Structure 1
Amino acid sequence: MTSEKVLGPLTLLRQRWGAALFERVAGSDGPAKRARIHGLPGPRWFSEDRPIRRVHADAAMFVGGLRALLLQSLHPLAMAAVAAHSGYRGDPWGRLQRTSTFLAVTTFGTASDAQDAVATVRRVHQKVRGSIRDGRTYRASDPHLLGWVHVAEVDSFLRCHQQYGAVPLDDDACDAYIDDMARIGTALGVVDPPRDRAELGARLAAYRSELQGTPEARAAARFLLLDPPVPVVARVPYAFLASAAVAELPVWARWPLRLPYLPVAEATAVRLGGHGIVGAIRWAMTAPAQADGPDRS
């Protein structure tokens, strides 16, 4: 008996959709990387009960990652570095795969693999430098810029998990997640990263005076939201993700990027659509392994 007859069409659809999504975010060698990350014996930076594992394993990260990119783009120096050196337009999926692999290795992988991943990123950062129109210079290894990228990610991942995660964190776990992320931030070169929600809010507020909607930032927002590198059949689901990400941005971040603020729609239709698409992704990405025949458990 073929595996298709054993599993049934709905399970096969779930597996195939999940495999396609996984390949998009992890690359063609994703299964091999996953096997190493989760299967290699050895100590980890984070134990199985740590909040960072719950947050980073949830499909809400699809919304959180997009929100983080939009928020990060508001710092002119950080955005200039991304525009000039990241290749996000020419190879957007490659950039996504590198980022998702880094998060997976540092969250779930062995301590030695996590340290190697951090060392690789730090070597790349040393080469990324330049200047912007007003003459200011940037270095990707600048602890101040690293701090902005870090707090924008932490705030985005946590906020979107609390809105769209399968099991939101309680108050203590929210602070513990920020503390977990501080370990990764410190390893990357962030100086004194925030360790609870009060510190995270204060650090975000401290960057406000440096943020602005540059032409590069608005171009990145248009690319991410209106012209994404996804197949036509995926445009509608992606639109739900994009709308959910925009709705989780603070109001002060909308106008610089020329993004709308529609509180009634965001609290109803956008949130409903966001829960629907995140739930569908979660369902697909947790598909059971395919059996080879009726006698395999």
Structure 2
Amino acid sequence: MGGHPGNTPGDAAEFDGGTSRPSAADGQAPLFGAGSQFQEFFNDPRWALAIVRATVLEAAHPQIGAALIDNSTFVAHPWRRLRNTLRSLQRMFGDDEQVRIREAARLNRLHARLNGTDPRGRPYSAMDPAARAWVVATLFESTVTMCRLSGQPLEQHAMERLYAEFQAYLAAMGEQAGQLPPTLTEFWSYYDHVVQQELENTEAMQIILYRLFDHLPAPALLGGLPTLWATGRAVVGPLLGAITVASLPEPFRRRAGLPEVPGAQTLMQGAYLTVGLARFLPDGWIRADAIADLLALSPDSDDPRARAVTALHDRVRRAGALIRLITPLPPQPEPVSRTGTERSAEEFFREVLDQTGDGYLDWPDLAAMARELSTRLDLDEPEETRLYNAYADWWRELQSALDTDGDGRISAHEYATAVPSLAGPALIKVAEVLFDATDQDGDQQIDADEHRTLFRTAFHRDTAGTVRTYTRGAFIGDFLSFMSGRRRSTAYDPLFAQA
């Protein structure tokens, strides 16, 4: 991969007050918001490749890899994870300082709940300062590498500015100075050390590189077109994996024993160059958040764009029928109706309860539900803790009733065999806490705006004429019907079941 670009000591930016970050008051562009280097890259289509690469490098860190395996929903719900990540980055790098402070506090509360022990007995914590710094380092370095691989390497001053912005991002999270080196020159030595000495061929990294790409579930937009999605994934999945492996630092590829497809380097550079051509489309045509929202849009959504999506679905479904005739792919299952019909116990376990996708129900799965709801409602303390505690009580109730072999988790077989009624006191408490958190004005009703806040799957939703006012009893009844009756719901399925 060659040496690091632009690490000349004499070209370092001027720093202020010993903070290791350029001042926004010295006539340069701001560190956050409009005019920052980050904002220029956020909607760059090449950044999709860079984010995948950065995620692989993050997962190769032992602490981060263990936290992902035990707690993350990236396997079962990758598209939801992507939307939440983009939304968080928008908040952190936006113009509004109060939004940034609020988001940083939310992320810190989220990370403080992620800790445990990996299979080798080593403790991990998502609040570990070195691990948090490595996440930021991979985003910065992958952005620099993205530009280099696409034939447009960053000039030294632009690289300095971008590094300062990511340092400011880490500082906004409350980390003390020194977790990232103060200068760009020192950063490259730090980066090489971590790559060569600390990264491992973790299970999380293997899943992202091979299992995730090869078995990536369809986004909501293409959820009813299994044959078409399987055809595209069969081609794109292995290519994306090969491109990502080829872009990783060579010392780590060798040490981790990652196989490299012949010609992968050429393929990788061609991919970055080709994707980069989309930058020349008119302004506004490519927006990362809009694309993520569109992928989450299902035909039965109440979003006004759904009408166009429905028409597109009809056309693509016909194409899918043709592909099914001419391709050797094995038959794909027909899409399941999402119109409120019953789902089997196995489907409910897989689609709703097993949020982490490891085949078992345990506390991280229910914590993921609480995390998603807290994010949707933008909860602060103490409402967030109250919701987590309600889910913890429900987990203890489920474990006591269903964990027949005493291994601390519930298998799909244990769940399906028991055929339980889940509407016990603890689940009712979850519903009550969720109602109180959604009913922000405290009038004991959930109006259209409050309903939209909880159930939207995109930034812009038109729910006029589709949302009735919820009383406490009606809201709790619908929630219990979904969680215990295993009925599909156009409101709750996007929250818990969509990928």
TM-score by length of structure 2 reads 0.44
1:150 is aligned, of 136, 140, 146, to: 136
1:180 is aligned, of 158, 165, 178, to: 165
Q: Secondary structure at the match of 1:204?
A: helix
Farther off after superposition, 224-233 or 55-64: 224-233
Q: How many residues align?
A: 244
Report the counterpart of residue 265 of structure 1 in structure 2.
263
> Could you tell me how far apart the structure 2 residues matched to 1:282 and 1:182 are?
30
- Whether the 8 Å CA contact 1:240–1:273 is kept in 2: the answer is no
- Whether the 8 Å CA contact 2:44–2:276 is kept in 1: the answer is no
Is the alpha carbon distance of 1:281 and 1:86 closer, same or farther for their aligned partners in structure 2, counting shifts above 3 Å? farther
Report the counterpart of residue 223 of structure 1 in structure 2.
211
Report the counterpart of residue 246 of structure 2 in structure 1.
247
- Whether the 8 Å CA contact 2:33–2:95 is kept in 1: the answer is no
TM-fit CA distance, 1:242: 4.2
Report the counterpart of residue 84 of structure 1 in structure 2.
70
| Aligned CA-pair RMSD | 2.9
Report the counterpart of residue 55 of structure 1 in structure 2.
41
Report the counterpart of residue 161 of structure 1 in structure 2.
147
TM-fit CA distance, 1:115: 1.6
Matched-pair identity in %: 22
Give the number of the structure whose residues are more often helix, by fraction: 1
- In structure 1, runs of 5+ residues without a counterpart are 1-43, 290-297
TM-score by length of structure 1 reads 0.71
Matches within 5 A, 1:105-144: 105-144=91-130
- Whether the 8 Å CA contact 1:55–1:161 is kept in 2: the answer is no
1:209 is aligned, of 190, 194, 197, to: 197
> Could you tell me how far apart the structure 2 residues matched to 1:248 and 1:260 are?
12
Farther off after superposition, 276-285 or 264-273: 276-285
Amino acid at match of 2:209: A
Is the alpha carbon distance of 1:122 and 1:284 closer, same or farther for their aligned partners in structure 2, counting shifts above 3 Å? farther
Is the alpha carbon distance of 1:148 and 1:101 closer, same or farther for their aligned partners in structure 2, counting shifts above 3 Å? same
> Could you tell me how far apart the structure 1 residues matched to 2:211 and 2:139 are?
19
- Whether the 8 Å CA contact 2:243–2:265 is kept in 1: the answer is no
- Whether the 8 Å CA contact 2:38–2:165 is kept in 1: the answer is yes
Structure 1 runs, 4 residues or longer, greater than 6 Å off:
none
Greater relative contact order structure (CA < 8 Å, 6+ sep):
1
- In structure 2, runs of 5+ residues without a counterpart are 1-29, 219-228, 288-499
- Whether the 8 Å CA contact 2:68–2:204 is kept in 1: the answer is no
TM-fit CA distance, 1:281: 7.8
Q: Secondary structure at the match of 2:116?
A: strand
